[in-house]
Each structure stands twice: as C-alpha cells, then as structure tokens.
Amino acid sequence: MKSIDRLRCILAGERPDRFPWIPSIYEHGPRLLGKSPGEVSRDADLMAQAALKAYELYDHDLVTVGVDLYNVEAEALGCPLSAGEGNSIPGVVSHPLASQDALDASALAMPERGEANRLDLLVGATGQVVDAIGRDVWVYGCMGGPFSQAVELRGFENLIGDMIDDPAAVRLLLDKTAELSLDQARRLSSRGAGVYLYESWATLPLIAPSIFEQFVVPYNKRVISAVRAEFDTPPPAVIMGGDTALLIDQFIEVGTALVVADFNTDFDYITSRIAGRPMIVRGCADPKMIERGDWAGLAGALARLAAKAAGLSNFVWGCGCVSYNTTTENVLRFKDMCLQAGRR
C-alpha cells in the first residue's frame, strides 16, 4: 500500500495495512545535504532537495517542506531574523510592533509577492516536491499560523496584555495575519500541496482555552475552511503540541485534519470526541530521546502510545521536530521501533 493510500484509508474510517509513520523533518533535512539550516532556508532548490533526500532515506508517510516554520510569514511582515549560523535555524530577533504603546495594526504593511521575501521561495520549493513525489505521498507546505505570526510581530507578553486592554486591536492584527495566511495557503494549495498551520504560541499552558477560543479558532478556521472549499488537496491541519485533549472541541470547530498527541494525552477522550470524523491522531515521541539514543525510554513511550492506539484506525506514529544533530541511523531505528510496536 502506498503512503498516500494509507492516509486516504484512515480518513475514510478504514484501517490501513499498518499505522503510518510521520516524523517531523525540518532543520534535520539540511543535515542530510551537508548544508546549514540557514543556507537551505533561503534557497528553494536546496529546500526541495532536503525534503526529497529525507523521503529517499526514511520513506515516511507524509512529507513536509520547510526549515524555519514560523519565520517566513513573520519575516515578510517585517520581523528581522538571525542568519541561522552553524546548526541553528533562523529566528526572530525583534518584534516590529513591540515598541507601540498601544497596538495599531494599521502600521503593518502587507507584503507583496516577489523576490523581496521568502513566500515565493517556499511555494516554489513545495511545488518541486509535489511534482517529484506527490503521486505517492502527501506533501505539505509549512506556515506559521495567524496567532503565532501576531506573537512574533507584537511579542507574546505585549499581545496578551492587548487582549485585556484592547481586544478589538488584536482582532484587527489577526485579520491581517489571517489574510496573509490565507493568501499563502491558496498558493501552496494551487501547487497540489496540503497546508500545515503551526501554532505553537497557542499551546497550553502558554494561553488559556478561552483565549484559544476567541483569538485562535476564528482565524485558523477562516484559512482552513477556504482551503477545503476551494481545493482538492491533502486536507489542511493545525499543528501544535501541549495538552491537545483539552482543546479537541476547538480543533473540531477549526476543521483540522490532524491532532498531535504525546503519550501523556488522554486518547480516550480525544477519540470519543472525534469518532466518525475524518481526523487523524498523531502520537508523538520526544525527539530529544531519538537524538541521544535513549532506546529504553523510547520503547516505554512507544509501548504506552501503542496501548492507547489499540483498536484505532486513525492513528499515526510521529515525533516532535527531529534535530539537526540527530543521526540518520537513530531516525531509522526510531522508525523500526514504531513499526514493531504497531504490530503487537
């Protein structure tokens, strides 16, 4: 069974030949080319080659394209980035709206398409990967979600304060970040790719469920609903960690195709809420354990995940972001451990 058929099978409510395996490969991809994350993040051809090399080595069941997941849109909106020297990925070094005494989103200029930013670069790289392997495996382009973009622009503590002092101003800012997200999502979808919206700044306990409901759900839903209505592509998803069981009803409202859950998550509650819905549960192992080769610890974590996934048809194996320093041998051993655990 092809990878693409496994995931289609899951979304149809059927059990595939095995649980799919979907590691998170981002800055680890440049290592496979002998390049730095900073170099690959600014070259469409290298970014595509990194994703394709990872697929060649690992044969994973879903391929993502991107290196610095949260920074492409933020950079286009005016956030300065570090260069990504050595093995580090580029990162936001200052927040352009942080100096405002009162949040004023009208000061934010929306970026134009073209070579002045990396929006085109990511779309181009993703299109290359879809053209190369998209008939066999789902390919997803990576984006920072509207809420996480707003955090990078204003700064986390400032934005939380704004939600209390001037929630209307926050919504105007989120309207702008959602506008950019939707435009980029449409461009990725037009190349045949799925869309991953990364919202780690919205992870519990960084924010309360009530904040998630008011300031995350409407804007992610705006993007995902439009993509689902306009394109026949791999279904869009919101990606974030934390205790996702507490937010499962909000994820249902957003329309995400996938929910990330680690071994501490209440799978019974998640599965009871999504029963009959086309939604995938990705059980995630700790990538630091993979990097250092903590095989005994991983075996225990995978056994707990396997026990929780027993009887499910919509479960896939995964992990957090595989680090640049993780060896290929360790990733392949982790894959074998997942597949073995799934057979028990």
Question: pLDDT-derived band of residue 344, with 50, 70 and 90 as boundaries?
Answer: low
Mean pLDDT, the chain, rounded, equals 95
Percent of all residues in the chain with a pLDDT value above 70, rounded to a whole number:
100
Pairing of strands 194-198, 280-285: unpaired
The fold adopted by the segment(s) 3-343 is TIM Barrel (3.20.20)
pLDDT digits (tens, 9 = 90+) for 13-22: 898 999 999 9
Task: State yes or no: pLDDT of 243 exceeds 90.
Answer: no
pLDDT digits (tens, 9 = 90+) for 313-326: 899 999 999 999 99
